[in-house]
């Protein structure tokens, strides 16, 4: 998560330029003698010029189980509600091997999801979502 947040919002979550860091009690760094405490990663470990070293991604969880049962488990567990409802973790599921994959949205609805057929992280042209009701 530290890499993700430091990359998507470096002004807020990254530690800035490491050449001016001062370590503070092993919990973070300051920039210079009087800067704000920063706990993220230094910019040099995140970017080359304006391009990130790696694409920041969130965890994708795959489950094969009835969607109504998955919804019930999430509804009873506040941690799962926060993770999946806040889009911290993505959830794709299907009822059986023959059923299509469904992607759970933040509002708890499900949409059909066709996973990419290649491993290229920058090519998401094969990923589509359609409105589908829980089945």
33 and 79 co-located in one domain = no
34 and 74 co-located in one domain = no
Give residue-wise pLDDT tens across range 10-44.
778 878 788 777 878 878 888 777 778 888 888 88
Number of domains comprising the chain: 2
Asked which of 48, 71, 86 is the last residue of a domain, the reply is 48
What ranges in 34-100 are assigned the alpha helix state H? 67-76, 78-85
Which structural domain, as residue segments, surrounds residue 121?
Answer: 60-132
Give residue-wise pLDDT tens across range 104-115.
999 999 999 988
Other CB atoms within a 10 A radius of the CB of residue 105 amount to: 16
43 and 67 co-located in one domain = no
* 78 found inside a domain: yes
Given pLDDT bands bounded at 50, 70 and 90, which one contains residue 133? very low
* 90 found inside a domain: yes
38 and 17 co-located in one domain = yes
Selected residue with higher pLDDT from 17 and 89: 89
* 79 found inside a domain: yes
18 and 78 co-located in one domain = no
């Amino acid at each position: 998560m530290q890499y993700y947040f430091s990359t998507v919002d470096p002004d807020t979550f990254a530690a800035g330029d490491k050449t001016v860091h001062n370590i503070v009690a092993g919990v973070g760094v300051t920039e210079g003698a009087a800067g704000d405490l920063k706990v993220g990663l230094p910019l040099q470990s995140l970017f080359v010029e304006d391009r990130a070293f790696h694409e920041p991604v969130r965890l994708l969880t795959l489950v094969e189980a009835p969607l109504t049962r998955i919804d019930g488990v999430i509804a009873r567990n506040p941690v799962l509600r926060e993770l999946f409802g806040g889009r911290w973790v993505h959830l794709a599921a299907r009822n059986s091997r023959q059923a299509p994959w469904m992607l759970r949205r933040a509002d708890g609805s499900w949409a059909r999801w066709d996973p990419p057929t290649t491993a290229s992280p920058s090519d998401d042209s094969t990923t589509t979502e359609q409105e589908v009701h829980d089945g």
